[in-house]
Amino acid sequence: MSGMKRKFTTFLAISLLFAYLLVPQILQAAAAPDPALENLNLLVSQNRFADAYEASLLLLDEYEGDPEFDFLYGIAALETGRPSEAVFAFERIAVLFPEQQRVKLELARAFYQANNLAAARQLFNEVLASNPGENVQSNIRAFLEAIDERESQLDGSFSWYVNTNVGNDSNINSATELGVISTPIGDVELSANGQSIDDNFMDIGGGGAYIKPLSKTSSINVYGTYSRQNNFGNDEFDIDVLATDINYSHILNSMRLSYGGRAQKVDLNGDSFQNSASRLASMQRSPGNGWTQALTGAYTAVRYSTSANANADLRDVNQLLLSGVLGKSIGNFFHSVSVYFGDEQSQKTLGDNNAQQFYGIAFSEQFQLVPGHMPYFRISLHKSDYKGEAPIFNIKREDETFSTSLGWIWNASPNINVTTDITYTENDSNIDLFAYDRVKYQTGLRYQF
């Protein structure tokens, strides 16, 4: 583990430096009143919201991200029936001033008009918990009652997205760079596809969600996703993944609990490769002061197709996975730590070498640099101990995986995200055949409908 510790220390230092360099160092000096903002404030104060909205559009390119402008623009958009624009404006302010109650109230109103009732309820309750004045409490309770009534009458709602990524992967098959492997029975020369393959790729995909409220605190949720990675130079490792989830969720005290299932199908180069079915349970909680907590348990049956390889079912396992996430928002930063543990049982006695016990930890950091731009990084460590001796090598395989990512998210509009990232992965193994490293970088676009 000494090698892993050195890698962890090195990359942690790099990542912390990255975060440090992003910390704003500019102190804003007091400025004279801005005539454009004064005029916009006057229009809003006179309830001339249509005029205020038109004036906001003329100032948008220059003033977007200025908290005073965003607030006035959000009010104008909200009062002229444009809740999506109002949400985008108020969220920019909320990132910078997370404890500002007036902003939370206006953002809650925008969510309510946009029919995002769960988000509206959460913000209204947060302000109510701060014990505001009686008039404010009365207005909040009126909104909460309206949310209750609307939720009881709501039909199911749909949302969906499409996305695409292009990039390069130095090791699309997660294979060793070695051409010859030493084994107890002699040296073995690997074929070209048994060694690491560098290739450019394009990902395409999409997904959708159907939410059916059952009451003000419960709902049935159905999700579906599809993705395809098309490697430009080598089709043998093209991957298609189709997945669907269905769960029942409800709120109990301050926790959101959900229970459900997941089914997934993976094709390799157009042929059936792997199928899995999972039973899931999770708990999510936001106790306040920027904290978020989540716990998840999953039991998954993983089955491999024998259509191309008669012995593929030796890889069939049943897997138990437990994971937890703890997050904290501090100013413009969001810190997150996740831990997990998994245990697998092989379905074939001769397949014990494919079952593993594994565990890991990951740390991620997001930073709101300026409105609409969020750089991030992630570090993770993973350890796998296999339960049976690997054929030919006659030892139990042990892997240690280190991975780190740096990336950037640009919210180009309320519906469009542009992302770019680079990920380095190194897998150390006591069997040379399974040791590899990998560098993957990509840029992508996501459109939310």
CATH of the domain at 137: 1.25.40.10
User: Which candidate, 406, 327, 335, places its Cα nearest to that of 18?
Assistant: 406
User: Which candidate, 273, 279, 328, places its Cα nearest to that of 304?
Assistant: 273
Q: How many helices (H) and strands (E) does the chain have?
A: 8, 16
> Is residue 32 scored above 60 in pLDDT?
no
> Is residue 79 scored above 50 in pLDDT?
yes
33 phi and psi angles, rounded to 5 deg: -55, 140
Chain segment 365-380, per-residue pLDDT in tens: 998 888 889 999 999 9
Instruction: Decide: 65 and 74 in contact? Cβ < 8 Å.
Output: no
The CA distances from residue 195 to 117, 172, 268, 436, in Å, are 52, 10, 17, 9
| Residues 168, 37 within the same domain | no
Structure-model confidence comparison of residues 286 and 300, the more confident one: 300
Chain segment 339-368, per-residue pLDDT in tens: 999 999 999 989 999 999 999 999 999 988
| Residues 267, 247 within the same domain | yes
CATH of the domain at 415: 2.40.160.60
Kindly report which listed range (23-37, 74-88, 299-313, 432-446) carries the lowest average pLDDT score: 23-37
Chain segment 407-426, per-residue pLDDT in tens: 999 988 878 999 999 999 99
> Is residue 97 scored above 70 in pLDDT?
yes
Per-residue pLDDT at 21:
40
Instruction: Decide: 270 and 282 in contact? Cβ < 8 Å.
Output: no
Ramachandran region, residue 117 (left: φ > 0; alpha: ψ -120 to 50; beta: rest) = alpha
Per-residue pLDDT at 402:
98
Per-residue pLDDT at 135:
85
Per-residue pLDDT at 190:
87
| Residues 147, 168 within the same domain | no
Query: What is the rounded average pLDDT for all residues in the chain?
Result: 88
Among 153, 187, 219, the domain boundary falls at: 153
The CA distances from residue 158 to 162, 223, 406, 448, in Å, are 14, 10, 33, 12
Do the domain assignments include residue 417? Answer: yes
| Residues 194, 143 within the same domain | no
Contacts of 254 (CB under 8 A, 6+ apart): 285, 286, 287
Hunting for tokens 């450019």 — which residue is that? 200
Mean pLDDT over 399-405 rounds to 98
| Residues 84, 171 within the same domain | no
Instruction: Decide: 362 and 401 in contact? Cβ < 8 Å.
Output: no
Question: Helix (H, G, I), strand (E, B), or coil: what is residue 238?
Answer: coil
| Residues 143, 164 within the same domain | no
Structure-model confidence comparison of residues 299 and 117, the more confident one: 299
Do the domain assignments include residue 10? Answer: no
Contacts of 300 (CB under 8 A, 6+ apart): 262, 276, 277, 278, 279, 318, 319, 321
Q: How many domains in the chain?
A: 2
> Is residue 147 scored above 90 in pLDDT?
no
CA 430 to chain centre: 32
Do the domain assignments include residue 77? Answer: yes
Question: In terms of C-beta density within 10 A (0-12 exposed, 13-18 middle, 19 or more buried), how is residue 118 classed?
Answer: middle
The CA distances from residue 98 to 290, 330, 408, in Å, are 8, 9, 22
| Residues 325, 216 within the same domain | yes
> Is residue 28 scored above 60 in pLDDT?
no
| Residues 268, 212 within the same domain | yes
Do the domain assignments include residue 21? Answer: no
Mean pLDDT over 14-25 rounds to 40
Q: How confident is the model at residue 231 (pLDDT cuts 50, 70, 90)?
A: very high
Kindly report which listed range (36-40, 160-164, 251-255, 420-424) carries the lowest average pLDDT score: 251-255
Per-residue pLDDT at 249:
93
Do the domain assignments include residue 316? Answer: yes
Residue span of the structural domain in which 371 resides: 157-448
| Residues 439, 349 within the same domain | yes
> Is residue 17 scored above 50 in pLDDT?
no
> Is residue 7 scored above 70 in pLDDT?
no
Q: Return the DSSP state at 393.
A: T
Mean pLDDT over 174-186 rounds to 89
H runs (alpha helix) in 35-155: 35-45, 49-63, 67-79, 83-96, 101-113, 117-129, 134-153
| Residues 145, 193 within the same domain | no
What's the token pair of residue 22?
């992003």
Do the domain assignments include residue 12? Answer: no
Kindly report which listed range (319-323, 327-331, 340-344, 417-421) carries the lowest average pLDDT score: 327-331
Per-residue pLDDT at 260:
97
CA 113 to chain centre: 26
Q: How confident is the model at residue 197 (pLDDT cuts 50, 70, 90)?
A: very high
Kindly report which listed range (13-27, 45-59, 280-294) carries the lowest average pLDDT score: 13-27
Q: How confident is the model at residue 157 (pLDDT cuts 50, 70, 90)?
A: confident
Q: How confident is the model at residue 14 (pLDDT cuts 50, 70, 90)?
A: very low
| Residues 75, 179 within the same domain | no
What is the spatial distance between Cα 415 and Cα 417, in angstroms, rounded to a whole number? 7
Inter-axis angle of helices 117-129 and 134-153, to 10 degrees?
A: 160
Structure-model confidence comparison of residues 314 and 62, the more confident one: 314
Mean pLDDT over 280-306 rounds to 91
Do the domain assignments include residue 278? Answer: yes
Structure-model confidence comparison of residues 191 and 381, the more confident one: 381
Instruction: Decide: 11 and 3 in contact? Cβ < 8 Å.
Output: no
Mean pLDDT over 419-438 rounds to 96
Do the domain assignments include residue 3? Answer: no
Q: How confident is the model at residue 3 (pLDDT cuts 50, 70, 90)?
A: low
- Computed over its alpha carbons, how large is the radius of gyration of the chain? 26
Per-residue pLDDT at 407:
96
Among 153, 188, 216, the domain boundary falls at: 153
Structure-model confidence comparison of residues 22 and 86, the more confident one: 86
Strands 396-413 and 373-389: antiparallel
What is the spatial distance between Cα 222 and Cα 248, in angstroms, rounded to a whole number? 9
Q: How confident is the model at residue 185 (pLDDT cuts 50, 70, 90)?
A: confident
Among 153, 179, 197, the domain boundary falls at: 153
What is the spatial distance between Cα 105 and Cα 128, in angstroms, rounded to a whole number? 10
Pick the most confident of 4-13, 156-165, 218-227: 218-227
What is the spatial distance between Cα 6 and Cα 440, in angstroms, rounded to a whole number? 22
> Is residue 159 scored above 90 in pLDDT?
no
| Residues 330, 265 within the same domain | yes
